[in-house]
Amino acid sequence: MASSPQYLSGNEIRQTFLDFFAQRGHKILPSASLVPEDPTVLLTIAGMLPFKPIFLGQRTAEVPRATTSQKCIRTNDIENVGRTVRHHTFFEMLGNFSFGDYFKEQAIAWAWELSTETFGLPPERLIVSVFEEDDEAFAIWRDKIGIPPHRIKRMGKDDNFWASGPTGPCGPCSEMYYDFHPELGDDNIDLEDGSRFIEYYNLVFMQYNRDAEGNLTPLQSKNIDTGMGLERMAQILQKVPNNYETDLIFPIIKTAAEIAGIDYSQADEKTKISLKVIGDHVRAVVHMIADEIRASNVGRGYVLRRLIRRVVRHGRLMGIEGEFTTKVAESAIALSEGAYPNVRQREGQIKAELQREENRFLKTLDRGEKLLAEIIQKALVGQASRLSSSGQDTHPKTEISGWDAFILYDTYGFPFELTQEIAAEQGLTVDTAGYEAAMEKQQTRSKEAHETIDLTVQGSLDKLAEHIQATEFLGYTQPLSQSVVEVILVNGKSVEEAEAGTDLQIVLDKTPFYAESGGQIGDRGYITGDGIVVRIEDVKKESDFFIHFGRIDRGTLRVGDPVTAQIDRSCRRRVQANHTATHLLQAALKKIVDDSISQAGSLVAFDRLRFDFNSPRALTSEELQQIEEQVNTWIAEAHAGKVEVLPLAEAKAKGAIAMFGEKYGDEVRVLDFPGVSMELCGGTHVSNTAEIGVFKIISESGVAAGVRRIEAVAGPSVLDYLNVRDKVVKELSGNLKAKPEELPDRINNLQNELKSTQKQLEALKAELAIAKSDQLLSQAETVGDGKILVAQLGEVDAESLKTAAERLQQKLGNAAVVLASVPEPQKVNFVAVFSPEVNKKGLQAGKFIGAIAKICGGGGGGRPNLAQAGGRDASKIKEALETARSQLRESLQA
């Protein structure tokens, strides 16, 4: 009989797991970054993701067995965070992996030993599931482990068959569950009952390959992929009611509660949910920022921004005013630094990013509160909300529409609960059903973009992976190579040959072509053979295969052909100059602006370079000039470059800077220009800075909150840039009859002349409108004790129309004047000017002219005495004016 579960801290559980498998021949590997190497996945969402190329057979495993604690991010169930006992955006997956070594029986035996003997889980509290057709796994659990058959549940493929996608490696899995309430007995066991059972360990037996027709064939090399949720095991061993109250998360929650002045144990359920959301999300954002993700409106940056904003919103719901995220982050950093030292090393960047995003969002929340106040005011007077897409008030004045509440949440980030609370203070309710309907539509769109792991490689490459070797890259030292055609792909399908005129992708056994990576674009060039010429326009890397994208200009290319692969040396020299200049640019930014600046993205092309970096402010023109001068000084000093391949730890110890987007193994390539720049980089570079020639900054701009961008050119690209500018200057000089140095003054004078002419034109238009309007006085009708004048005034612009209407009303005295004009096709202007006597009879210019403009497909409004409006349908202007005339007669008749 196993002992009762003993209390273990989260750190102890992690280390115990890793040590258990290390003692059984597994190599402990570090967690991969949350920015995955796999371009098909936005974030690292599973423990197996870093091993994708091995499972595909595209890369040979360095060790037969491995174990990891992998940090992961998933946001597809973000709305459940804090509401269930075990949903998270950030979690750690403990895993043990076999790459063609041990298989099903050994994986099951170790999982049982680890669970019952090492962690001390009572066997009578454990239940397992197997795939319904996996008799082998069922027999191992029953006969080798000794679990009673009624505690082994057969389940369908939706639950217990793992697949990477429509094709590729797949296989049955077996899951282990812990029973919190064994006293309920073994009758009618329902593993979907989350209050009783928790799945804590999943064993995937990767034993098949599925082809495009759905056929399963056994893999030559069978693999094991397992995952144990660290947070779930912590809940079990620490005997707490949910994952959030484990020592992995609860200290963060406690910090947030203290800031809010709340006792967690006494808090209501709504407040506890907010605290759990903060605890979970702060862990996530700390690790994301530490892995060089920065907030933005796209991709990973959008995920980060959304999580930070949810933290701030839930803080506001609990009454926290002002900044607080950096204080909560301190707790998360302290909890994680033992296992993940980079969170402490990047503490400054983490706090700076949080502070920027929090301040930005607090301003957004302020705007949301002001907008809600407007909505409430309009609801109280029975007006339609200006946010309503229909333009009609379909709700009673005691209710705020669900659409308005959704727009406040979705566009302005304003919490629905806060909308309800503030509305209630004014005696209003919110249309919850309408809000939920709008939210459901949004979630449906989100689900369509659900993150999945796809182990397939472009086209049919995955089917060929077991039969070809990884591409050998020779391009650092050789501009051409004698190679053999391994694969030809046309329209994503593998073919044996292709003829002239065909667009295709080619895999060679070795190549001098650099594949797009780390911001540097792929090489261009040619692949030639006996009567064959293939023009290569781009090269990309899929796992360890270099995919050459090109078109056959001449001949027929066949698999197995010997060919010569040769890069375009001119293009290579250009990209080398731009890439090395990018390194020098980063070094200059750190030296002149701020040493904490880090890269947030880059592009190295043949004709230009682009460098994104983290900065809370724009650079001054003086700083940009100093940076440009510093880079050119280093170029002129002719610093020789040195390339070394070093262990990663040694490279970091020497101070090498990692380039954004690069992934590093145990050994890394270090590019060092001593005294200037030292970075980890797999790109191609000049051997001496003098080869660059010259460097020129083109622009500096903002691309996202806290992220700036410098665009520049280097080497031969500078001459191209200057030639274009010189051509423009010569054309301007010729057209304006001025010397180049006289152009600024000449253009300024032309601009001033144009402004003066425009003012004169506007004055003439106004005079013409007044002259025309005087002719309309005779059309005024006497209605009651006043007059009305409704007329169209040609092609007059809106301002002149307003001037004319005001003049006519002044001349008529007690009068209502409504004028219209069509200044251009599909554009109608309206203006209404009412005297005080007209207002006293209940007519307001704003409401009146807004309704009239709707006839022409528009709208508008203004003050009771003066209002303007517009429309799009000029064909109905006559109808609109007749309606205005009729309504004025009816209202003013007395």
Confidence label for 194 from pLDDT (cuts 50, 70 and 90): confident
Burial 618-649 (b: 16+ CB within 10 A, else e): ebeeeebebbbebbbebbeeebebeeeebebe
Summarised one tens digit per residue, pLDDT across range 829-859 is 999 999 999 999 889 998 899 899 999 988 8
Nearest to 822 by CA among 801, 796, 802: 796
Range list of β-strands (E), 101-231 = 126-131, 152-155, 161-163, 168-179, 197-210, 216-229
- The whole-angstrom separation of Cα 593 and Cα 585 is 11
The CA distances from residue 337 to 22, 45, 229, 411, in Å, are: 22, 21, 19, 36
Predicted confidence at residue 340, as pLDDT, reads 93
Interacting residues of 64 by C-beta distance below 8 A, sequence separation 6+: 25, 98, 99, 100, 101
Per-residue pLDDT, 165? 65
Q: Please determine, for residue 396, whether its predicted confidence score (pLDDT) is greater than 50.
A: no
Name the most confidently modeled range: 43-52, 380-389, 502-511: 502-511
pTM reported for the whole predicted model: 0.55
* CA–CA dist 686, 678 (Å, integer): 14
Q: What is the DSSP string of 265-290?
A: GG--HHHHHHHHHHHHHHHHHHHHHH
List the structure tokens of 567: 């890069």
Q: How confident is the model at residue 383 (pLDDT cuts 50, 70, 90)?
A: very low
Neighbours of 283 (CB within 10 A): 29
Could you tell me if 533 and 557 are in contact, meaning their C-beta atoms sit under 8 angstroms apart?
A: no
Q: Tell me: the pLDDT tens digits for 254-303?
A: 999 999 999 999 999 989 999 999 999 999 999 999 998 888 766 788 88
Give 748-760 as a DSSP string: HHHHHHHHHHHHH
The pLDDT value recorded for residue 662 is: 55
DSSP 137: H
Region for 601 from its dihedrals, namely left if φ exceeds 0, alpha if ψ lies in -120 to 50, beta otherwise: left
Q: How confident is the model at residue 797 (pLDDT cuts 50, 70, 90)?
A: confident
Q: Check: CB of residue 685 under 8 Å from CB of residue 576.
A: yes
Q: What's the confidence (pLDDT) of residue 449?
A: 35
Q: In what order do the strands lie in the sheet with 677-680?
A: 642-647, 667-673, 677-680, 657-658
The pLDDT tens digits of the residues spanning 215-251 come to: 888 887 899 999 999 999 999 999 999 999 999 999 9
> What pLDDT score does 281 carry?
96
Joined tokens for residue 318:
């609990």
pLDDT bucket at 179, cuts 50 / 70 / 90: very high
Mean pLDDT of 189-196: 87
Residue-averaged pLDDT of the chain: 86
Backbone angles phi, psi at 696, to 5 degrees: -140, 125
Query: For the residues 674-684, what does the mean pLDDT come to?
Result: 92
Percent of the chain beyond pLDDT 70? 91
Please compute the mean of the pLDDT values over residues 586-601 and round it to a whole number.
Answer: 90
The DSSP secondary-structure symbol of 166 reads S
Flag whether pLDDT at 658 surpasses 90: no
Nearest to 225 by CA among 36, 41, 70: 70
Lowest mean pLDDT among 57-71, 113-127, 142-156, 756-770: 756-770
**Which residue bears the tokens 């390194």?**
583
Antiparallel, parallel or unpaired: β 480-490 and 562-567: antiparallel
What average pLDDT does this structure show over 519-525? Answer: 94
In sequence order, the 6+-apart residues with CB closer than 8 A to the CB of 462 are: 56, 167, 168, 455, 456
Q: For residues 334 and 286, what is the distance between their CA atoms, to the nearest angstrom? A: 11
Placement of tokens 């880079």 in the chain: 631
Res 603: pLDDT: 92
